[in-house]
């Protein structure tokens, strides 16, 4: 068990802004109350725990990137059989996971993984559904597979979430082809998609009927989205994505909108050279918030309930690069402060709020921790 006290390490980024875009190096306007807490290791000995979800019976279901789906209950791990073999390459493998909104009736789960059509062409991100019966998957169905395959090992995405109307959203990164995929609605990748729970395409998707368009697309112009959640009060779809060197973004996703990558960005190439001089262009959305420098965000959750009274309504984002969980304090639709939680704990891959209101974080090659207020 590790002890931490929350200290305000970054208090800036509240802005004069256009379309809710926030600029760096603005002065702090609020100091969050200090809170003491402990981090308790709940699930030890994991490798890369990519996605997590609690089942109605209280057991934890989580994915490991190398291809394992694990149910953890009463201190024991149960590996789920029947999981298709993922295409494990670079950032790709078994990734996001979600339960059907009516899971208690149908036992359907959804997961995303890098998939290969053959051994020579490489792979791309696929969305699957299956029935979970005991510790086995049955009736596994591939609902959507991004094309074409590529051997590049980057930017697979991928998170999954259902909204209150039962629509399923999932993210796929640009697969390292920034000049081909994100801005082209006739191509997969660099997109947020929306489907019905059976994989069919909603008739009111924004590009249904558009010549040659990928009709599953809900929004486009994304780089590598690894955060995707529904706001607990507004019902809006929130997303975050990795930028290049600088320019990680949080976006509030709207139907048919273009989020700009790579035509506009607050980041640079990893070499330090310029990608574009444009930070804004007509017809392209500004981020709700962005990080400069990048934190390499992964996982995303709003704090709900009363376990952490001073955090309620705030946004949590894992940092792979700087090995902590970030709390973004949001007031009047603006980020007014940032705070590091569990600084130095490791590469935080995912964060969720459990059924009793406790925060759980998945840390690569460490385990899954619960954050307990003192």
Query: Does residue 360 share a domain with residue 255?
Result: no
**Confidence (pLDDT) at 374:** 83
Helix, strand, or coil here: 332?
coil
Whether 71 is covered by a domain: the verdict is no
Domain closes at, from 294, 312, 337: 294
Query: Does residue 308 share a domain with residue 261?
Result: no
Query: Which is the catalytic residue, given 17, 100, 155, 231?
Result: 155
Whether 65 is covered by a domain: the verdict is no
Q: Cα–Cα distance between 207 and 135 in angstroms, integer?
A: 39
How many independent structural domains does the chain possess?
Answer: 2
**Confidence (pLDDT) at 310:** 87
Q: Cα–Cα distance between 146 and 182 in angstroms, integer?
A: 13
Q: Cα–Cα distance between 145 and 199 in angstroms, integer?
A: 11
Whether 66 is covered by a domain: the verdict is no
Q: Cα–Cα distance between 323 and 326 in angstroms, integer?
A: 10
Query: Does residue 212 share a domain with residue 227?
Result: yes
Whether 39 is covered by a domain: the verdict is yes
Query: Does residue 222 share a domain with residue 211?
Result: yes
- Is there a catalytic annotation at residue 155? yes
* CATH number of domain containing 265: 2.120.10.30
**Confidence (pLDDT) at 41:** 98
Query: Does residue 275 share a domain with residue 314?
Result: no
Q: Which residues of the chain have pLDDT under 50?
A: 3-32
Strand order in the sheet with 136-145: 94-99, 108-115, 124-133, 136-145
Query: Does residue 96 share a domain with residue 204?
Result: yes
Strand order in the sheet with 248-253: 225-230, 237-241, 248-253, 289-291
User: What count of other Cβ atoms lies within 10 Å of the Cβ of residue 223?
Assistant: 24
Whether 74 is covered by a domain: the verdict is no
Whether 323 is covered by a domain: the verdict is yes
Whether 73 is covered by a domain: the verdict is no
Model-level pTM? Answer: 0.92
Query: Does residue 323 share a domain with residue 233?
Result: no
Query: Does residue 301 share a domain with residue 286?
Result: no
**Confidence (pLDDT) at 120:** 84
Domain closes at, from 241, 262, 294: 294
**Confidence (pLDDT) at 87:** 96
Which range of residues forms the domain containing residue 9? 1-58+296-374
Query: Does residue 264 share a domain with residue 155?
Result: yes
Query: Does residue 237 share a domain with residue 91?
Result: yes
Domain closes at, from 275, 294, 313: 294
Q: Cα–Cα distance between 46 and 54 in angstroms, integer?
A: 17
Query: Does residue 288 share a domain with residue 314?
Result: no
End-to-end CA distance of the chain, in Å?
13
326 touches 339 (CB < 8 A): yes
Whether 69 is covered by a domain: the verdict is no
**Confidence (pLDDT) at 36:** 77
28 touches 15 (CB < 8 A): no
């Amino acid at each position: 068990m590790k002890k931490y006290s929350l200290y305000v390490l970054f208090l800036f980024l509240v802005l004069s802004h256009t379309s809710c875009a926030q600029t760096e190096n603005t002065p702090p306007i609020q100091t969050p109350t200090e809170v003491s807490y402990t981090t308790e290791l709940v699930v030890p000995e994991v490798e890369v725990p990519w996605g997590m979800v609690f089942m109605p019976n209280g057991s934890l279901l989580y994915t490991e990137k190398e291809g394992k789906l694990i149910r953890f209950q009463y201190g024991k791990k149960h590996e789920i059989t029947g999981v298709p073999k993922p295409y494990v390459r670079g950032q790709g493998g078994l990734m996001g996971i979600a339960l059907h909104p009516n899971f208690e009736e149908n036992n359907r789960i959804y997961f995303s993984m890098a998939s290969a059509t053959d051994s020579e062409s490489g792979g791309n991100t696929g969305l699957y559904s299956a029935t979970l019966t005991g510790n086995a998957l049955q009736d596994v169905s591939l609902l959507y597979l991004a094309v074409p395959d590529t051997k590049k090992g980057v930017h697979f995405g991928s998170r999954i979430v259902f909204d209150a109307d039962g629509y399923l959203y999932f993210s796929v990164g640009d697969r390292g082809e920034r000049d081909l995929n994100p801005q082209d609605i006739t191509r997969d990748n660099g997109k947020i998609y929306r489907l019905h729970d059976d994989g069919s395409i909603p008739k009111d998707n924004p590009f249904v009927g558009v010549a040659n368009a990928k009709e599953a697309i809900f929004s486009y112009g994304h780089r590598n989205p690894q955060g995707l959640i529904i706001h607990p009060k507004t019902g809006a779809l929130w997303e975050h994505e990795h930028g290049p060197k600088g320019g990680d973004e949080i976006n509030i996703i709207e139907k048919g909108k273009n989020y700009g990558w790579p035509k506009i960005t607050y980041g640079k190439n990893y070499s330090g050279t310029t990608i574009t001089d444009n930070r804004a262009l007509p017809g392209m959305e500004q981020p709700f918030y962005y990080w400069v420098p990048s934190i390499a965000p992964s996982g995303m959750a709003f704090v709900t309930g009363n376990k952490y009274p001073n955090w309620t309504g705030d946004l949590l984002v894992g940092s792979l690069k700087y090995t902590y969980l970030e709390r973004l304090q949001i007031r009047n639709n603006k980020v007014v402060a940032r705070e590091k939680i569990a600084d130095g704990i490791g590469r935080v891959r995912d964060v969720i709020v459990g059924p009793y209101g406790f925060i759980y974080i998945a840390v690569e090659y460490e385990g899954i921790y619960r954050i307990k207020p003192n």
